[in-house]
Chains A and B, each alone.
Chain A
């Protein structure tokens, strides 16, 4: 027998150990895999199938054709994108300075601020939305106070329209922007800012040339989460929009509840899903390029 043919010490046993480990890991992921299959893959597949079924029950593209032609649908898509983009931009404008401020605090004070961000985040969405309604409506707190202080003579309309929807959505979405952004900013090495400064950069210059570019991955992640969540948002625009602001999710709901048209609702759902997928794909390209360190 040559050496190559001889069994090496414990070779089989060690292979068995490695195989067992793989089996354990698979076992640990199994419940989640089953759940994803049952609750996501199958329903989404079913949705996809339904979207190609016409009113008469035959296979057709009529659901998609109607979406392309109908002015109402186009308006709904435009509204959805407009509200989502505006919410995302306002969230960034409010959230970035706040996350920056928190990232510069000591851990202790930053954690206290973080609780302030998280408490509304943990409160029921419905409660917060109705709270806004109380504050913003015609005879609400805000209007009453402004009239009493003599700032305005007539109550102004700040709810049941785009303004109200935006106020509510920004409030709900803000934590989703702040959390990833803050985590990213915390991880930025503070010495890089000191280095920039020792090399001659004014604080403003150091911020724009060093801090801001390094915070971009967190900002992009936050923008993305907010935008994608906005696209499918239902509760807040339904209540604060007062029926005047109709977004895609609300149309899906009315298609089913009012018109019993599962096909039309499914088609709308599929379009939303595809758009979200495209945005995620583009964003992942942007972020990974940034992480490669190329400009």
Chain B
């Protein structure tokens, strides 16, 4: 198992390296001199040269590249061009909100999606299955800014169980849970819809395998056949979808953050885009890619835990 973990970790390194290189190139390709963007069109050549020297953009490209890689390796992503605050500080200020939302949505998605998918698979082509499929299609076709607004109307305005502005106090776990619930339901229901579909398909496949018949021939109770023998063999595609979706949630929850008025990584990214904060964008891209690589690494490691055959390759 340890060898497997080390191999996966080593395999993640080239990905990170490629990502860093790509980000570096993209930022350099974007037209316009960052110094002039910061100072404006009327800047004197001396002032511009001073800013270039501070940013390091007067150096040859290979030097900038090495400096960039070195900084990234030590966790230094530079400072925002607009606020001058370190990017890492900006990100770590909002990251807990994003992690809360992502984790809570994931839990809701799994807790609803897996049982619903299994239930649909066990009642294939009967009313329950059709209902589950229709509901999950509905869930997939509802954008979060619509479902979010309905949830707010019902649970925040009509019943007043939840706040309209979900900016939680990070030091108060109960407050965090209370304020993450509504946006997490909005995101989690869509995720549950995906998981339901994948679980249904994977369970239909695994329940028709020979080892299920063997388990039944051993006298294993049906419930255990389904939840132990069937589900474990069906879990690779389920874990894949959860991993992909968590990756999407981390960066793409900006709509949810806007609808529910919560801070988060998505809002920071959109803010940097609006302000043309290039250094911020560069740092955010690297951090975002790093998070995606970590999620994929966890997914890969889970494959190995679920299916011993994966560890061999």
Asked if A pairs with B, the answer is no
Residues of B within 8 A of A (CB): none
